Every structure is written in C-alpha cells, then in structure tokens.
Amino acid sequence: MKILSAGEIRAWDQYTILHEPVSSLQLMERAASQCYEWLMSEYASAPSFTIFCGKGNNGGDGLAIARMLLEREIPVIVFILEFGHKGTADFQANLALLHQTRGSVVNYIQTTANFHPLPHDTIIIDALFGSGLNRKLEGVTAELVEHINQSGCTIVSIDIPSGLFVDSSSLGNPAVQANHTLSFQCYKPAFLVAENGDKTGQVHVLDIGLHKGFIRELAAEYNLLDDDIIHHLYKPRNAFSHKGQFGHAMLIAGSHGKNGAAVLAAKACLRTGAGLVTCHIPKEASFILQTAVPEAMVITDNFPDYITAIHEDLSVYKSIGAGPGIGQEEETVQMLSELLSANTKPMVLDADALNILAANPTMLQLIPAGSILTPHPKEFERLFGKSANEFDRVVLAVQKAKQLSCVIVLKGHHTLVATPEGKGFFNSTGNAGMAKGGSGDVLTGMLTALLAQGYHAENAALLGVYLHGLAGDLASASYGMEAILAGDIVNFIGQAFKKIG
C-alpha cells in the first residue's frame, strides 16, 4: 500500500473529481458514509455522540456524519469551532442539510466559556482539522483539544487526529489523542512514527472509492509493507530442490555471557530456510551451540571468550551475518575490519558490529554494496548522528542507504526498510511484545538465511522484516505480549511462512 503525503492526498481527491467524475460534495458524502458505517459496527449501542467540527472539509465530514446518525435517531450534539468566517462551500452545504434534520443541536465555540462538560459515555468524534493542517494549534483551538483529551471519553478522529501534520513532525504540538483514527483510502506518514503513537490510536483505512488510476501511476516515496507486496516477493520451493540450492550461511556471533545471541541467530537462520548454517563462535561456546542447535555446524575461534579472527575461506558462504553478542574487544574490532575488507558479498550487520562501525566510522566505506544494516534507534543515532524528530530520522535513513549503497532496517514498531534506490517501506506486522532482548538476533538470522537463498538484499530485508513481525504476532496470540520470548519468535517462523505461502 502506498503512503501518501498531504499534497498527494489532495491531488488524488482532485483526480477523482475530474476523472470519475464526481462532485467534491458527493465525495464528502461517500467519506462520511464510510465513517458512519464504521461507527455503527463499533458503537451502535453508544448512548450519544458528540462531534467537534472545524469549518473546513474535515468539519464538513463531521456534519455529514452527524446528519446520518440523527437520521437513525441516535442522539448527537455538534460543536463548531467559530473562526469568524463561513467555512468551505462543502462545509456550508452540509451545515444547511444538518439544520434541516430533525433533532439537530448545533453549538458554536468562540471562547473557553463555550466549553461544556462531556458525558463520560459519549463517543467523541474529532472533525476539527484534517490533512490540510499546516500550522501549530494555538489559543482557544489548543485549549479545546486539551478539553477533548481530558474528557475521559472514547475519541474517534476523522482523517487524522486534529493537530497532527500529515508528513512532517508535530512533536510537542497540541493534538487530539484519539483511540481510533478513520483514514481515507491510505496510510499517512504521521501514522507510522512513534512520536505520534499516543495520538493516532488504532488506525482504520476506509475505502471511499478514490479513482484507482491515480494511485497506479503514482511513484510513492514510501510504502506500507503488506500482504500484496510480500506475496510477490516470496519464492516457494521447487519439489526437486536440495540443500545446496538454499545456500550456506555463516553467522559470526557470541562472546562470554552473550552466546545466547548466537543460538537465537542460528535457530532463526535454519528456520528461515538456509541450506547450511555455520557459526563462528568463541571456543567456550562450542558445547552450547552444538547442544542447543545440533543442525548447525560450528567453527570455534582460537580465543575462548570472544572472536578475534576469521581464517575460513569466505567464498564457501553465500551470505554472512555478523554482530549478535560479539562485543567490542580490540581484537574483535580488527576482525570485523578484516572481514569487511576481504568479503565482497552482501552481509547482514547488527548489534555490536554496528557499534564497532559507529566507533570507527572510516570502516563504513568497507561495507559491501547490497549489505543490510539493522540498527535500533540508539544504534542508528550512534552511527549517523542525532535527529530532531522521527521524520528527520526516516529521511536520514533513506539518505544513508543511498550513500552507502546498502539497505538500512531501522527497527521499531513500524520498522523502516530504507533502500539504496531511495525508497522507504514501513512494516505492518509486529507488536510491543517483541521489545525484548534477543529479538534482533532472530532477525539477523532470518535475513542472513534469505540472502543465502538468493534473495536480493532489498527483497530479503522486506520479506525478513515482515516474517519476523508476523511470527511475533503469532507468538503474541498464543502467549500474550508480555510473555513473548525471542525464542518464541523463532518457533513461529514456520507458521509465518504458511500464512504467506
């Protein structure tokens, strides 16, 4: 699914109006009707609805929803934020229709004196400002938003929570804290960054019949990684396949006290389909690995506690994953430098490998083209510097992916996959239960396995991130988010493959 900016959303509306053709008022009616249907599916038994409207087209949506509720004899009170102007033509048209509807009650808010206590069981519909907002809310408007947020009521925002910008940071700005957001036709960038997580609630994308011709032709900068994309990436196995066709993967992982990282990465690599897996680990970890993961082969370092050198013939391996639990000892730093210099194939670099790169930035130029870097936000910051907000961080990730000719997987709730071609994909799977130590080690193993099987780096990252999140969702469904362990993610990789197959 393509993720659209505010300008692209306006253009899609206009394209539909011109090419369907349909009037803007009819399009507003469509949007309101879909919102009404959703409200009835979720809150048909609600005792009342309270709708706050601005005087733009978002407010027009709110007025149309009010009319539809009243026509079903559901109690509705409407509050219109008074700006001293008449509002848009479509807003005025819907206001006239509402005044003609039996039972309509319309109040105007000019000052805080017009605020009224809200029944705790009313459903609040936020239709103050939509995708066109481009400045911070202030004065009475900001106080009204705070009044809504403090109500304790369930809040449903239409299009986008009022106060949020669609495609730039609203960090620190007053904004409605919605329980649900009813978005039209597509996801918006604002829904996919953690800084807005307490504002958007659950996002529901409603189809209002915008013209498909526009979206087919649009080369969107960002996309939501969904079932359709994954279905086209996944390559099922041929019945006559053998293990040699699925690659030999090498994992460089572990150090004293962190050898569990090597176990998790190895298990995940095997579960994700690598034909052969060899783990280069500290000498002390040999018994641990060969007991916990008997399917994996083991090469031990000369040093017992951490990894100091790779002497194997790297040409044997189709892919290499390095970093989980390796620490940052001086010899380990030298090992990574030599590995990057000797290996020309795409690699997966995670955890301590990234921390070593951050401490030795000249080594960034040694990363083979097409490699996959998997930083969490703090690791990303250490690598590439601080960002003022999450929107800036996303832009920086895309810039660095292009600059380094690699794929950057910026981990988070909606993990971003930034590609060397300047594209960004936000993941749609995964949950907060995966925010535990070891989850990243599992992802490293999965990505290394997909590279070993011949997936292009970008496709390996997209498929791996999606499957990783999906396995986490399946684990959450069985155990609950609080109880998920990284090993549970590994155990559900097979079920995740079944779901996309």
- By the 8 A CB rule, do 234 and 463 touch? yes
Nearest-angstrom CA–CA distance, 122 and 154: 7
| Torsion on CA atoms 201, 206, 211, 213, rounded to nearest 10 | 60
Cα dist from 490 to 62, 307, 376, 453, 494, whole Å: 46, 25, 19, 18, 8
Residues 431 and 377 in one domain: yes
Residues 153 and 249 in one domain: no
What's the pLDDT at 213? 97
Hey, what are 302's tokens?
């000369």
Residues 213 and 248 in one domain: no
Q: pLDDT (tens digit, 9 = 90+) per residue, 249-286?
A: 999 999 999 999 999 999 999 999 999 999 999 999 99
Residues 347 and 200 in one domain: no
Out of 219, 244, 274, a domain closes at: 219
Tell me, yes or no, whether 132 lies in a domain.
Answer: yes
Hey, what are 388's tokens?
């003022």
Tell me, yes or no, whether 446 lies in a domain.
Answer: yes
Q: Which of 176, 183, 182, 173 is nearest to 198 (CA)?
A: 176
Nearest-angstrom CA–CA distance, 289 and 443: 18
Q: Which of 284, 213, 151, 147 is nearest to 14 (CA)?
A: 213
- By the 8 A CB rule, do 490 and 268 touch? yes
Tell me, yes or no, whether 254 lies in a domain.
Answer: yes
- The β-bridge partners of 279 are 251, 298
Q: E-assigned strands of 350-484? A: 372-373, 407-410, 416-418, 424-427
What's the pLDDT at 85? 82
Residues 196 and 235 in one domain: no
Residues 97 and 43 in one domain: yes
Nearest-angstrom CA–CA distance, 58 and 449: 47
Residue for token pair 């009170």: 77
- By the 8 A CB rule, do 180 and 201 touch? yes
Q: How many domains does the chain have?
A: 2
In 3-state terms, what secondary structure has residue 474? helix
Tell me, yes or no, whether 104 lies in a domain.
Answer: yes
Return phi, psi of residue 416, to 5°. -95, 130
Residue 15 structural domain: 2-219
What's the pLDDT at 237? 86
In 3-state terms, what secondary structure has residue 158? strand
Tell me, yes or no, whether 252 lies in a domain.
Answer: yes
Residue for token pair 């396949």: 241
Cα dist from 82 to 25, 113, 136, 166, 359, whole Å: 21, 13, 17, 24, 55
Tell me, yes or no, whether 115 lies in a domain.
Answer: yes
- By the 8 A CB rule, do 471 and 492 touch? yes
Q: pLDDT (tens digit, 9 = 90+) per residue, 211-264?
A: 999 999 999 999 999 999 999 999 988 888 888 889 999 999 999 999 999 999
Out of 201, 219, 237, a domain closes at: 219
What's the pLDDT at 244? 83
Residues 195 and 233 in one domain: no
Residue for token pair 């930083």: 375
What's the pLDDT at 239? 87
- By the 8 A CB rule, do 414 and 425 touch? no
Q: pLDDT (tens digit, 9 = 90+) per residue, 127-169?
A: 999 999 999 999 999 999 999 999 999 999 999 999 999 999 9
Out of 187, 219, 251, a domain closes at: 219
Tell me, yes or no, whether 382 lies in a domain.
Answer: yes
Residues 209 and 129 in one domain: yes
Q: What is the CATH number of the domain that holds 62?
A: 3.40.50.10260
Residues 349 and 462 in one domain: yes
In 3-state terms, what secondary structure has residue 348? strand
Stretches where the chain sits below pLDDT 70 are none
Residues 125 and 242 in one domain: no
- By the 8 A CB rule, do 65 and 127 touch? yes
Residues 252 and 161 in one domain: no
Q: What is the CATH number of the domain that holds 277?
A: 3.40.1190.20
Residues 290 and 329 in one domain: yes
Q: pTM here?
A: 0.95
What's the pLDDT at 216? 93
Tell me, yes or no, whether 245 lies in a domain.
Answer: yes
